[in-house]
Amino acid sequence: MSDNLILDFPVLRDNSGDFVEGVSYEVEATHDDGKLNITHTLKGQSFISQLVENDEAKFSVSLLYRDSSERQHHLCDTGISTSNHEIVGTQTIPIKFSYAPEIMPSIVILTDKKIVADASSGLTDFWKHGEQFNIPKYSRVALGEKLKFTAGDLSKLIEVLNDERLGDGEMKVKVKEDSGEGETPVSLLCSTDVFDELSKVTQAEPSTAVESMRSAIITQALCAVYAYMHKLSNNQDFEVSGVLAAHLEMLESKTGENWENEDFDPSLAATKMQPYAIKVLGNGVDYD
């Protein structure tokens, strides 16, 4: 799919420039108990909101199960509520496999439609009042951001490799900031002893000195990645891989740190992201 389509009708998406401020389409998703819960929110008055209200356009999701490449599609037929220039649609979809799919949300028009731009169309000056445009049936008139549940996880970010040429305790970090779809952007090359230790790292917080040492190896690697990305983002414009972008989002939401900020401290951010200190003994015991 291309992000750079030029169409002869307006499409609501981030930075498209077709719609005035206040008109937006956002989608949130959660999953539990083998079900996806999806909430579409269309804000502001526009020709799209009129079409949705008249059942001539619907919220839709296309799901991609990556492991088998199966795609499913679901129109949102129920759970629509409208209030104060805001239309909310909710969908509950059973998840077919044991992992959550990627979600590509959109608003799909269900019939061929001729639209005349006017004050209520929600369009910017790019579209002149009185201008007519035809929208073919099944066109996506709004595109939401692709949603993934695990995109920024460390397991997606870092690939740990054994490099027998390295001496005991050594490791090297290589960042490929423009890695493509399906590629892991960070390679952590380790000597065999470090590699063996990292194979025992678990998700749980460290509770022994050995677990703390293993966690600290990851913290050091993250620190190197963050320092690299910080330097890169300050010096030039560059394409960043989807996994790194997702990790930055996760970093910011979890720690409040952002490598694009001038005063970013890679060491502090890495320590917040991957703590390695053992919690104080007696943690959880009430001393009052």
Partner 1 sequence: MTEYKRLDEEAWSKFGKKLLAEKGSEKQKEFLQICRSGKDDFLGYMDEYLLSLKDGTIDGEYTTLEYKFAEREFLYPPKDTQEFIWNAFKNIPEEMMYCCGFWGYIVIDMIKSEYIKPDYLASELNSVTKTGIYVIDVALTSNDQKQIDHCARRILRSMCNPVPRGKRVVFSDFYLGKAYWRFRWADKMSQQNIGLNFDQILEIFDEKYYVEFSAKMHSWKSYIGSKNVFGGLLMYLNQEKGNKIPGKKLGKIIDKVSYISAWKAIEEQTPSINQTEIQKISEIL
Residues near partner 1 (CB under 8 A):
1-3, 5, 7, 11, 60, 62, 64, 66-73, 75, 97-98, 106, 108, 136, 138-140, 160-165, 181-182, 195, 199
Considering beta carbons, is residue 125 or 164 the nearer one to partner 1?
A: 164
Output the smallest distance, CB 152 to partner 1, in A. Answer: 18
Output the smallest distance, CB 62 to partner 1, in A. Answer: 6
Considering beta carbons, is residue 192 or 267 the nearer one to partner 1?
A: 192
Residue carrying structure tokens 């919690």: 279
On whether the CB atoms of residues 44 and 22 are closer than 8 A, the answer is yes
Output the smallest distance, CB 270 to partner 1, in A. Answer: 24
Considering beta carbons, is residue 71 or 279 the nearer one to partner 1?
A: 71
Alpha-carbon span 163 to 137, nearest angstrom? 55
Closest CA to 210 of 250, 66, 202: 202
Considering beta carbons, is residue 58 or 230 the nearer one to partner 1?
A: 58
Output the smallest distance, CB 180 to partner 1, in A. Answer: 10
Considering beta carbons, is residue 140 or 247 the nearer one to partner 1?
A: 140
DSSP symbol at 101 = P
Alpha-carbon span 60 to 76, nearest angstrom? 6
Alpha-carbon span 11 to 7, nearest angstrom? 8
The count of other CB atoms within 10 Å of the CB of residue 181 is 8
Output the smallest distance, CB 59 to partner 1, in A. Answer: 11
**Dihedral of the alpha carbons of 173, 176, 180, 184, in degrees to the nearest 10:** 10
Closest CA to 10 of 1, 271, 20: 20
